Amino acid sequence: MTKEAAALVEGAKQWATYYGEYSNGPEGHALTAQLRARAAWAENNADAFADIFIDNGSALFGDTQLKGREEIRGYLVEAFAGPYKATRLFEEPREVRLLTDSSAIIVTDGGLVREGEETVDPANLVRAMWVAVRHDGDWRIVSYQSCPIRN
Amino acid sequence: MTTTTGQVADQAKLDAYYGPFTDDKQKEVLSVPLRLVAAWARNDAAGVADVFTEDGILILPGDVYKRGRDEIRSFMAAAYAGPFKDSNVTGQPADLRIISDDVALIRTHGGILAPGETEIAPELAVRSTWVAVKKDGEWQLAGYQNSPRGAGATLRW
The amino acid that residue A59 corresponds to is A
% of chain A at pLDDT higher than 70: 100
Structure confidence at residue A43 (pLDDT): 97
Instruction: Check whether B2 has a pLDDT greater than 70.
Output: no
From residue A112, how far is each of A21, A70, A84, B7, B85 by CA, in Å? 21, 22, 8, 50, 36
Q: Is A102 on the interface with B (CB under 8 A)?
A: yes
Instruction: Check whether B1 has a pLDDT greater than 80.
Output: no
d(CA A69, CA A39): 17
Alpha-helical segments (H) within chain A: 3-17, 25-42, 46-51, 69-81
Q: Is A124 on the interface with B (CB under 8 A)?
A: no
Distance of CA A40 to the CA centre of its chain: 8
d(CA B155, CA B130): 19
The CATH-assigned architecture of domain A3-148 is Roll (3.10)
Mean pLDDT in residue range B125-139? 97
Minimum Cα–Cα distance from B58: chain A residue: A129
Spell out the domain ranges in chain A: 3-148
From residue A111, how far is each of A23, A40, A108, B23, B135 by CA, in Å? 21, 15, 9, 38, 33
Q: What percent of chain A is helix, strand and coil (3-state, nearest 5)?
A: 35, 40, 25
Q: What are the pLDDT digits (tens) for A31-63?
A: 999 999 999 999 999 999 999 999 999 999 999
Question: Is the CB of residue A129 less than 8 Å from the CB of residue A99?
Answer: no
A149 CA to chain B: closest CA distance, Å? Answer: 4
Rounded mean pLDDT of chain B? Answer: 96
What's the pTM? 0.95
Q: What are the pLDDT digits (tens) for A74-98?
A: 999 999 999 999 999 999 999 999 9
Q: What are the pLDDT digits (tens) for A104-151?
A: 999 999 999 999 999 999 999 999 999 999 988 999 999 999 999 997
Structure confidence at residue B4 (pLDDT): 82
Q: What is the dihedral of CA B8, B10, B12, B18, to 10 degrees?
A: -150
Q: What are the pLDDT digits (tens) for B8-25?
A: 888 999 999 999 999 999
Q: Is B105 on the interface with A (CB under 8 A)?
A: yes
Q: Is A149 on the interface with B (CB under 8 A)?
A: yes
Structure confidence at residue A151 (pLDDT): 75
**Burial environment of residue B4 by CB neighbours within 10 A (0 to 12, 13 to 18, 19 or more):** exposed
% of chain A at pLDDT higher than 90: 96
> Sign of dihedral through CA atoms B111, B116, B121, B123?
negative
Structure confidence at residue B12 (pLDDT): 92
| Cβ under 8 Å to B: A residues 45-74 | 56, 58, 60, 63, 65, 67
Sequence-distant (6+) residues with CB within 8 A of A143 are A57, A58, A59, A129, A130, A131, B105, B107, B129, B131
**DSSP-based three-state secondary structure for A7:** helix
B116 CA to chain A: closest CA distance, Å? Answer: 26
From residue B123, how far is each of A92, A139, B131, B138, B149 by CA, in Å? 29, 37, 25, 34, 9
Q: What are the pLDDT digits (tens) for B71-83?
A: 999 999 999 999 9
Structure confidence at residue B6 (pLDDT): 82
Q: Answer whether B65 sits within 8 Å of A94, measured CB to CB.
A: yes
Q: Answer whether A149 sits within 8 Å of B129, measured CB to CB.
A: no
Instruction: Check whether A1 has a pLDDT greater than 90.
Output: no
Probe site for chain B from A101, A143, A146, A150 (most B CB atoms < 10 A)? A143
